């Protein structure tokens, strides 16, 4: 459609109305593509997730960071300057939030070696022989378990765990609530370290290594942030003690949280670092495993005191459970 008008100096002025409308439509579509990613970046940086749905969505931030390149390309090709600037800032912000987890390097920190293997056993159904093979092959010093049932403890002991790791602090249950620490080295249980409300059993113990300072080890498993449990999930993560000059702490397990959650970042700010992120393995997903879809989010972690060195971290599939096992090779002061 064109609109014509007589010019006072002769001739006809033709206005291409369709082109203007088309340009406005393209601009609107460009902003519709840019805005959701920009809002995601603001929520991620400011820790604005509220309620169960947004908290669960925040675990997908690495995918949002990759996806933010699409609106950036759309805005740039469409020569929409303002939209391009916003899209570029969005991609940069999300990239700086996510990419450091993929570029860490091993730390040459002096100290005593400590090898930690952590696994959620899915109501005790994780394959016993596969777990024992990992314990032997990786020469694990500590086996840290969640969703540990009494029957699973019996199977592990029958497979040789009792002889290999005679020291233990076990709070097994016939449900998702059971947890347990098994160790080659002495363990002394500690009460009241982590809040029981808002979480499954989370046993804690003082681990004594030859030639090293005692280490406070916490087996982590808060409730998932589903529905009203999101409040308890937040409170549980807030309940963990921060690192201190007197105590070296390690927190390992199924946090039901990623490094993109504000509650998790606040925990890290209390003196911890994510072992996997330290060595460039922080983006390896751990859940859901052994399903038709591959693992997509990273919610199983080993958090260590800043004085603890991280030599290597690896993630392993275990038949029978929906979580992948996390192995961390550490050096402690």
For residue range 182-191, what is the model confidence (pLDDT) as tens digits?
999 999 999 8
CA nearest neighbour of 30 among 85, 89, 94, 92: 85
Q: Are the CB atoms for 275 and 301 separated by under 8 Å?
A: yes
Q: Note the pLDDT of residue 17.
A: 52
Q: Note the pLDDT of residue 222.
A: 96
Q: Which of 35, 67, 101 is the last residue of a domain?
A: 101
Q: Note the pLDDT of residue 109.
A: 85
Please tell me the distance from the alpha carbon of residue 58 to that of residue 63, in angstroms, as a whole number. 10
Helix (H, G, I), strand (E, B) or coil at 314: strand
Q: Within the chain, which residues score under 70 in pLDDT?
A: 1-21, 195-197
Q: Model pTM?
A: 0.91
Same domain, 40 and 180: no
Residues 95-115 have pLDDT tens digits of 999 999 999 888 778 899 999
Q: Which of 64, 82, 101 is the last residue of a domain?
A: 101
Q: Note the pLDDT of residue 4.
A: 53
Q: Note the pLDDT of residue 24.
A: 85
Q: Which of 101, 133, 152 is the last residue of a domain?
A: 101
Same domain, 120 and 29: no
Same domain, 128 and 79: no
- Structural domain including 85 reads 2-101
Q: Note the pLDDT of residue 193.
A: 79
Same domain, 49 and 28: yes
Same domain, 156 and 137: yes
Q: Note the pLDDT of residue 29.
A: 94
Same domain, 64 and 184: no
CB-side exposure of 193: number of CA atoms within 13 Å?
Answer: 21
């Amino acid at each position: 459609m064109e609109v014509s008008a007589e010019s006072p100096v002769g001739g006809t002025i033709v206005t291409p109305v369709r082109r203007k409308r088309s340009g406005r439509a393209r601009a609107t579509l460009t902003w519709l593509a840019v805005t959701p990613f920009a809002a995601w970046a603001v929520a991620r940086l400011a820790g604005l997730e509220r309620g169960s749905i947004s908290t669960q969505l925040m675990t997908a931030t690495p995918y949002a960071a990759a996806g933010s390149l699409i609106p950036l390309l759309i805005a740039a090709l469409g020569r929409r300057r303002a939209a391009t600037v916003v899209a570029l800032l969005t991609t940069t912000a999300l990239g700086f939030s996510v990419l450091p987890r993929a570029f860490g390097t091993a730390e040459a920190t002096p100290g005593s070696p400590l090898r930690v293997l952590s696994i959620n056993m899915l109501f005790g159904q994780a394959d016993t022989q596969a777990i024992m093979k990992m314990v032997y092959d990786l020469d694990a010093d500590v086996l840290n378990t969640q969703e540990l049932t009494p029957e699973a403890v019996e199977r592990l002991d029958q497979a040789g765990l009792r002889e290999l790791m005679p020291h233990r602090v076990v709070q097994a249950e016939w449900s998702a609530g059971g947890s347990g620490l098994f160790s080659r080295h002495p363990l002394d249980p500690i009460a009241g370290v982590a809040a029981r409300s808002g979480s499954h059993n989370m046993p804690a113990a003082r681990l004594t290594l030859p030639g090293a300072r005692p280490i406070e080890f916490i087996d982590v498993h808060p409730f998932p942030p589903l529905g009203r449990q999101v409040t308890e999930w937040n409170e549980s993560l807030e309940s963990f003690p921060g690192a201190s000059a007197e105590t070296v702490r390690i927190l390992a397990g199924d946090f039901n949280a990623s490094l993109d959650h504000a509650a998790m970042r606040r925990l890290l700010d209390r003196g911890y670092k994510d072992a996997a992120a330290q060595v460039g393995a922080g983006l390896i997903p751990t859940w859901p495993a052994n399903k038709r879809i591959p693992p997509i989010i990273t919610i199983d972690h080993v958090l260590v005191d800043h004085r603890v060195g991280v030599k290597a971290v690896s993630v392993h599939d275990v038949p029978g459970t929906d979580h992948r096992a996390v192995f961390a090779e550490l050096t402690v002061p």
